Chain A
Amino acid sequence: MKLITAIIKPYKMDDVRNALSEIGIEGMTLTEVKGFGRQKGHTELYRGAEYSVDFLPKIKVELAVQHEVVDRVIETILETAQTGKIGDGKIFVTNIESIVRIRTGELDNEAI
Chain B
Amino acid sequence: MKKLLMIFVLFTGVAFPSFASTEVLNGANTAWILTSTALVLMMTLPGLALFYGGLVRRKNILSILMQCFSIAALSSILWFVVGYSLAFGEGNAWIGDFSKVLMVGITKETLVGDIPESLFALFQMTFAVITPALIIGAYAERMKFSAVLIFSGLWLLVVYSPVTHWVWGGGWLGQMGIYDFAGGIVVHITCGVAALVAAVVLGPRYGFPRTPMLPHNLTMTVTGAGLLWVGWFGFNGGSALAANGDAAMAMLVTHLSASAGALTWAAIEWKKFGKASVLGAVTGMVAGLGTITPASGFVGPGGALIIGVSAGFICFYSTVYIKQKLKIDDCLDVFPVHGVGGILGTLLAGVLSSTELGAFSGYGYAEGITTMIGQVSVQLVGIGSVIIYTAIMSYLLFKLVAVMTDGLRVDKEQEITGLDLIEHDESGYNL
**Which A residues contact B (CB, under 8 angstroms)?**
44-53
Q: Is B324 an interface residue (CB 8 A)?
A: yes
Which residues of B have CB within 8 Å of A48? 268-269, 272, 280, 316, 319-320, 324
Which residues of B have CB within 8 Å of A51? 212, 214
Kindly state the separation between the CA atoms of A41 and B403 in the bound complex, as whole angstroms: 44
Q: Is the CB of B316 within 8 A of A45?
A: no
Q: Which 4 A-B pairs have the closest CB atoms?
A: A51-B212, A48-B320, A45-B277, A45-B273
Kindly state the separation between the CA atoms of A46 and B215 in the bound complex, as whole angstroms: 8
Q: Is the CB of B212 within 8 A of A53?
A: yes
Q: Specify the chain A residue showing the minimal Cβ separation from B284.
A: A47
- Other than the given A48-B272, A50-B273, A51-B214, 5 more pairs (CB < 8 A) read A44-B214, A45-B275, A48-B269, A48-B319, A48-B324
In the complex, what's the smallest C-beta–C-beta distance from A69 to chain B, in angstroms? Answer: 35
Which residues in window 122-155 of B have CB below 8 A to A? none
In the complex, what's the smallest C-beta–C-beta distance from B86 to chain A, in angstroms? Answer: 36
Kindly state the separation between the CA atoms of A53 and B212 in the bound complex, as whole angstroms: 8
Which residues of B have CB within 8 Å of A50? 273
Q: Is the CB of B212 within 8 A of A47?
A: no
B314-348 CB contact bits vs A (8 Å, 1 = yes)? 00100110011000000001000000000000000
Kindly state the separation between the CA atoms of A47 and B279 in the bound complex, as whole angstroms: 7
In the complex, what's the smallest C-beta–C-beta distance from A89 to chain B, in angstroms? Answer: 24
Which residues of B have CB within 8 Å of A52? 212
Give which listed residue, B268, B275, B323, contacts A49 with CB less than 8 A: B323
Kindly state the separation between the CA atoms of A58 and B291 in the bound complex, as whole angstroms: 42
Kindly state the separation between the CA atoms of A53 and B279 in the bound complex, as whole angstroms: 17
| 12 pairs, A vs B, C-beta closer than 8 Å | A44-B214, A45-B269, A45-B275, A45-B280, A46-B215, A47-B279, A47-B323, A48-B319, A48-B320, A49-B320, A50-B273, A51-B214
Kindly state the separation between the CA atoms of A7 and B57 in the bound complex, as whole angstroms: 27
Q: Is B293 an interface residue (CB 8 A)?
A: no
Kindly state the separation between the CA atoms of A52 and B214 in the bound complex, as whole angstroms: 10
In the complex, what's the smallest C-beta–C-beta distance from B264 to chain A, in angstroms? Answer: 12
Q: Is B283 an interface residue (CB 8 A)?
A: yes
Kindly state the separation between the CA atoms of A50 and B323 in the bound complex, as whole angstroms: 12
Q: Are A53 and B214 CB-contacts (below 8 A) given A45-B269, A45-B273? A: yes
Q: Is the CB of A47 within 8 A of B319?
A: yes
Q: Specify the chain A residue showing the minimal Cβ separation from B283.
A: A47
Q: Specify the chain B residue showing the minimal Cβ separation from A44.
A: B214
Kindly state the separation between the CA atoms of A38 and B111 in the bound complex, as whole angstroms: 71
In the complex, what's the smallest C-beta–C-beta distance from B265 to chain A, in angstroms? Answer: 8
Give which listed residue, B268, B272, B279, contacts A46 with CB less than 8 A: B279
